[in-house]
Amino acid sequence: MNYRHAFHAGNSADVVKHALLIALVRALQLKPSALTLIDTHAGCGLYDLQGEEAGRTGEAEGGVLRAFADTDPLLDDYRAAVRAVNEGGEPRLYPGSPRILSQLLRPQDGLILNEKHPEDAAILRGAMRGLPAAIHARDAYELWLALLPTRTPRGLVVIDPPYEQTDERARIAATLAAAHRKWAHGVTAIWYPLKDRAAHLRWKQQLKRLGIPKFLTVEHWLYDADQPGLYNGAGLFIVNPPYAFTQELPPLLEALRAALAPDGHRGTLTAEWLNG
């Protein structure tokens, strides 16, 4: 499976991922100490929803356009982040995680972006021109470990791979285990697609065996029953989420579920601790 960002910009997974990232960073910023934000698979940073890649899939119709048609104020922060890269009306451009994270920076915070794909890395540099970010083009998993512990007292690492490689999940599990040994108090968010429920449950069991105490899983299943061969949703694993984030999560998840539910389906968007 290939979830390269440009083809899926602004889809339902992006809406959930970015709404939760905004809430997560804002919860971390309730404390004044500096944050380092690290995006290991940064992509292009900014996407044209009418461009060739996004236009080929049309997934923004079930994602950001649904979120903009909704009126729930709990989605206002997300919509504001998208409007910030558009001049008005319906969104033509969609901000990836790098542009969204850059909007959230305080003077004391830092942003580190990484994109190994040469073409995407070049586009990323253009999309971030004039914005405060250090940009790398390294192996994501090597960089993840190399930058830990962060130089600032606290930090957030975002892992959002395209899942092109057959060993992607194994590399995530191995690197997460090593990262937790180096940086046990750090916050980590790992995005993943939901396509095959059985395979996903096996991966969750593998991650559960890592024994990480504060390990939250947020899962968005779009349909009331699995649709074989189709993209069924996406989720986030979040290590060490701050208390303020977890307290505000239930109403935000319900607002997202209601806004993004496909016609004729209710879907589910839930959060639970992986280790009970």
Active site residue 160: yes
d(Cα 276, Cα 273) in Å, to the nearest integer? 5
Tokens 């997974």 sit on residue: 13
Q: Please write down the HEC assignment for all residues of the chain.
A: CCCCHHHHCCCHHHHHHHHHHHHHHHHHCCCCCCEEEEECCCCCCEEECCCHHHHHHCHHHHCHHHHHHCCCHHHHHHHHHHHCCCCCCCCCEEECHHHHHHHHCCCCCEEEEECCCHHHHHHHHHHCCCCCCEEECCCHHHHHHHCCCCCCCEEEEEECCCCCCCCHHHHHHHHHHHHHHHCCCCEEEEEEEECCHHHHHHHHHHHHCCCCCCEEEEEEECCCCCCCCCCCEEEEEEECCCHHHHHHHHHHHHHHHHHHCCCCCCCEEEEEECCC
214: closest CA among 194, 237, 190? 237
- What is the token pair recorded at 29? 């910023």
d(Cα 136, Cα 145) in Å, to the nearest integer? 14
Which residue among 14, 39, 120, 160 is the active-site one? Answer: 160
**DSSP bridge pairs for 233:** 194, 221
Q: Is the peptide bond before 228 cis (omega within 30 degrees of 0)?
A: no
Show which residues are catalytic.
160
